[in-house]
Amino acid sequence: MIDRLHHVGIVVHSADDALGFYRDIMGLEVAVDEVVEEQGVRGVLLPLGENEIELLEPVQPDTGVARYLETRGQTLHHFCFSTDDIRTELARVRDLGIELIDQEPRYGLAGEIAFLHPRSMHGVLVELAQPRPDAHHSDAKGIDHLAVRVADYEAAKARWNEVVGVEESNRFDVEAAEIIIGQFPISQTVIELIAPASPDAPLAKIIEEQREGAFPVAAVEVADLDTEIARYRAAGLDVPDAEVGTLPGTRRSTISAEQSFGLGIQLLEYV
């Protein structure tokens, strides 16, 4: 089975520069830092509770990751989910008719890995990983939630259910924004599917222009939002004042993706 979000992968120009944020300011530790020659990337894994942030820096031109960086700039690349049996999962997913990028598991930074095609996952590049036996392990909460924009809520819900095994735990109709937000927990992380409430909603136009896909933001729960905002400001970052969150009982602020190397970090406080 698929049991948790393993990591969020982001493509960066320089892993060293990105470490200046993720390690030196955010305070994460480096668990793995190596060059995977056949993929032409330097990969760095930084545990964040039970999840990780994966930095991918192309070290050769003309690889998939290098082209991604060239066309889209530093940004979110993929979500990776962990399983204890990647061969069984890959066969199961193939039998569902999901388009695979990797027909067989291969060596990757996170263990034995395989990618599913984003065409089959409403625009999200999904990696499955069977972690190395000696991999970092934590039971602490890491990423609170990730958000994906989808055109057809019911179709996306069914697909995420059959592939990743997640089920809707809550659904909010946010009338002011004309969106539907569905929450799909996996271990301590929630995948949010966000869909336009009607064909005329602003999000429907955004999806027409930018397609379906993941928002390049990861939300991390903090105990004291004001303390965190002050801490990041003291490190020289431009962090907005706290505001009321979209979902009830939350306050938030966000470190922009421009400052955190392609992945916005939303600081989220439950009040």
Cα–Cα distance between 29 and 48 in angstroms, integer?
Answer: 8
Residue 131 host element (H or E): strand 126-131
CB of 77 to Co ion, least distance (A): 8
Q: Which is nearer to Co ion, 126 or 193 (CB)?
A: 126
Q: How far is the CB of 59 from Co ion (least distance, A)?
A: 16
Whether 44 contacts 19, CB under 8 Å = yes
- The one-letter amino acid code at 117 reads H
Cα–Cα distance, 44 to 210 (Å, whole number): 28
- For residue 218, state whether it binds Co ion (rule: CB under 5 A): no
Question: How near is the Cβ of 115 to Co ion at its closest, in Å?
Answer: 8
Q: Can you tell me which of 50, 54, 112, 221 binds Co ion, judged by CB under 5 A?
A: 54
The CB-of-126 to Co ion minimum distance in angstroms stands at 10
Using CA atoms, how far apart are residues 197 and 179, in angstroms rounded to an integer? 5
| Region from 3-11, 86-94, 149-157, 247-255 binding Co ion, contact rule CB under 5 A | 3-11
- Interaction between residue 80 and Co ion (CB under 5 A): yes
Q: How many residues does the chain have?
A: 271
Six-digit token string for 219: 């939300």
Among 9, 47, 216, 264, interactor with Co ion by CB under 5 A: 9
Write out the residues near Co ion by the rule CB under 5 A: 9, 54, 80, 127
